[in-house]
Structure 1
Amino acid sequence: MEDKRNIQIIEWEHLDKKKFYVFGVAMTMMIRVSVYPFTLIRTRLQVQRGKSLYHGTFDAFLKILRADGVTGLYRGFLVNTFTLISGQCYVTTYELTRKFVADYSQSNTVKSLVAGGSASLVAQSITVPIDVVSQHLMMQRKGDRMGRFQVRGSPEGRGIVAFGQTKDIIRQILRADGLRGFYRGYVASLLTYIPNSAVWWPFYHFYA
């Protein structure tokens, strides 16, 4: 029986780098815009005490919309978009590591295992501090305090004020926890994503 599994593996040298980075960022941004409000709602539901503020996803959506408008569903979004950098760093690290490991082993499993783990290490080192800041911004709301930190008021909600709030949050994290405060949950993230990525890629190529 003819083996039909002869699928070409796309390596770093095969990629059109310009298209890869441009389309990769554009597609990720479109997805991020679509799902960010639900990420914000999920985060608030997870940290609230019981049902003190929201009774569920739909209730939270309506209350945030009424209190803060559409912009309320995108608190911390501008900061969160910097995680797009980590996504590109992930793929770049993965491809370059595969190329490096190829000098020592031609096993596709070994290349994928090492590259997948290395890519997650780099990506999470960039993502975690950004997530910490953006999640504190998600907790900002009119009325009751939800998070550890409270920023200055933003009566008009303009973009420049949002970045002012970002600086305010960064200063408060530094005062309270120092640089370590930006890496809360870092080890847990590594233990989650490194094994997942290291195993996922070899299985991807295996099933391909």
Structure 2
Amino acid sequence: MTEIRGHVGEWAAVLVSAVAAVVAIWQARIARRQAVSADTAARLAERQATAAESQVQIMREQLDAENDERIDSRRPQFEVTASRVKDAGQNQPHAELTLTQTAGRALRQVTVQAAGEYVEGFRSGRADEWGLHAVAGEAVIDGMSPGGSPETLYVHFEYRHVTPIQVSLELRCMSREGDHSWTEHLKVAVDEAIPEPSYISRGRRRGRA
């Protein structure tokens, strides 16, 4: 009887151990499945976050493109004409440039730079006692708009020059409203001066007697 009870106790211990092992295996499988599910959920959330960021970036680019297109549609447009070279035989040969804004937003300020062979710059300030003007690298115009009055700029050249002179203009424009800015480029050719007419006094011919 005692022997039978001993075997029953051993079998019970084995059974308990087996059940505990089964429970441990089952719990491990559940934990593994939960870990896999959590990892899958984390990857899915990461993909969703990446997709959302991409969508936001696309929307930003679309808005920026629309804004740039709107600003570009309002960019100023200009026309420039030039006189012939004046004072070609004096110390400061120059030409008058007439600048007109034909379209675009009204501007608070336009800064103009001139470049080209023989181009020295723009007239700056009043003439000195010798009738000579200072020359600056750029000219600043305060305010321009379509339909407004044309602006006259005096561009000076080297004393020894060859015509026609190709003058390249760079216009840095600031919008009157907002902080929009544009840079425009124009070119104009300046021809040689028209020779002054020479007046020769001629005496009348006397008729034959």
One fold, TM greater than 0.5? no
Q: Structure 2 length normalisation: TM-score?
A: 0.19
Q: Structure 1 length normalisation: TM-score?
A: 0.19
Q: Which has the larger strand fraction?
A: 2
Q: Which has the higher contact order (CA 8 A, sep 6+)?
A: 1
